[in-house]
Structure 1
Amino acid sequence: MRHRTVVGVLLVIESDSEVLLGRRTGSTFGEGWWHLPAGHLESDESAIACARREAKEELGMNLTDADLGLVHVLHHRDPDEARLHLFFRVSKWRGTIINAEPHRCSELRWFPLSRLPEQTIPYTAQALHAIGRGESFGVGGWQA
């Protein structure tokens, strides 16, 4: 049987050795936990177009393709399905970052990569630590 995978696109926005995380709210997944700005790839868009769309929808950011670079891929299995997470570093942006979806994100905050909050979504923390070590690929949630 051919395998189907959900593709998540996540934004790694760094400034002064800190990463931007949002506290999830109004969701059945990760309520109250910290997570990167993210979304799911839609059938009619490329991964880079998805990253630009999510940046605009969640943070009010207008990005170009050149502002984004793929830094990590995580093949992750949660209890319900397999996911392929694509982590894009945002190298530059113009304007002010805003919380454009307060119904999904109760707050935005900068955290040092070395001191992520205890309630960071586990696969997000795994990927950010891997990115800090320069690792471009990881797996998680699969049985050995």
Structure 2
Amino acid sequence: MTARTRFLSSSTVFVILRDGDRIFTLRRHSTGWMDGHFSLPAGGVEDSETLVQAAVREVREEIGVAVDPSQLRLVHVLHARTHGETWTGHFFETTRWQGTPTVREPQKHDQPSWVSVDDLPRPTVPYVHEALGAIRDGRTYSEYGWSDWNQGPGAPASRTGIVDHSWYVRTTDVPLRQAAGGIVVRRDGGRVLLALTIEEDDGGTVVALPKGGLEPGEDAVTAARREVFEETGLSELRLVLNEPLHVEARYGLGKGVWIKYPLFLFETIQTTGVPTDPRHRLAWFPLNALPPLFWPGEANMLARLDDRIMALLEV
């Protein structure tokens, strides 16, 4: 009989301070993880600490309020897989606390805000956004990062944090490569979903916008359409804007070439696609709840322009 290895999963607590239909949020910064995204007061459970004790400690440390443990109510459990790691998130809610919530750890957070649960700030940490939606719908359990990322035990970790600001500052005389890509969206009820391409290799998982170099005789729009089809399998594309929504410029991998690529906004009604490039697969994510992207310039651009995208779609 084969011995069974028991799997250990870390635990994280999230605390929802609720005032009517408003909740308290913070924006992450300078942490190296989801910086620029809004979230709840949260943190890992320490050794010899119960979940409730961790929740009480986190709100005291991060936002300076005192909560009676008896006033915390467990409203949701999230089973998540991010960056190849599996963990469980426990969401507690309270309507009673002492003190005024504010930023107590400015090295990690800024922009404290009371926001409507129906109008969360953009961008919100994706799994927090999904969990809050589940809580609003009355669901006590949800999963994140399992089906969308197609990960299981032994799956490669998502590669982020490799690229920093230096990749976007041209300091060396390297060849220029012209490329093009697509920002492909589709409507899903009241949501707008974004098409991302996922490429997996021995080094991990790369999540990014579809893009690639121009071929001889191609214009930028034609190249963008081709690259979208090759990397996502989407071919029914309506060009929303006759000019690039954004032009990105950075070093390529290895910093041996400087790449400049316009990104065109397309809308599609296709829900599935089979990429012609077998290294890639298509994944859809809510525009306001995207996963970490390999290229931070793309992530920052999407966070900055999501309102304009919604306006161009007349959503």
Scaled by the length of structure 1, what TM-score is found?
A: 0.95
RMSD of aligned Cα (Å): 1.1
Which residue matches 2:69? 65
> What secondary structure is seen at the aligned counterpart in 2 of 1:85?
strand
Whichever residue aligns with residue 60 of structure 2, its letter is K
1:42 aligns with 2:46: yes
Which residue matches 2:146? 142
Which residue matches 1:108? 112
1:81 aligns with 2:59: no
The 1-side partners of 2:102 and 2:82 are apart by 30
Which residue matches 2:23? 19
Instruction: Give the unaligned 5+ runs of structure 2.
Output: 151-315
> What secondary structure is seen at the aligned counterpart in 2 of 1:131?
helix
Which residue matches 1:98? 102
Which residue matches 2:121? 117
The 2-side partners of 1:118 and 1:26 are apart by 18
The 1-side partners of 2:103 and 2:121 are apart by 19
The 1-side partners of 2:78 and 2:65 are apart by 24
Which residue matches 2:234? none
Q: Whose relative contact order is higher, 1 or 2, with alpha carbons under 8 Å and at least 6 apart?
A: 1
CA drift of 1:137 comes to 0.6
Which residue matches 1:5? 9
Identical aligned pairs, as a percentage? 32
1:30 aligns with 2:34: yes
Whichever residue aligns with residue 64 of structure 1, its letter is D
Scaled by the length of structure 2, what TM-score is found?
A: 0.45
CA drift of 1:48 comes to 0.2
CA drift of 1:95 comes to 2.0
The 1-side partners of 2:53 and 2:132 are apart by 22
Which residue matches 1:132? 136
Equivalences, count: 144
The 2-side partners of 1:126 and 1:62 are apart by 27
> What secondary structure is seen at the aligned counterpart in 1 of 2:16?
strand
Instruction: Give the unaligned 5+ runs of structure 1.
Output: none
Larger radius of gyration: 2
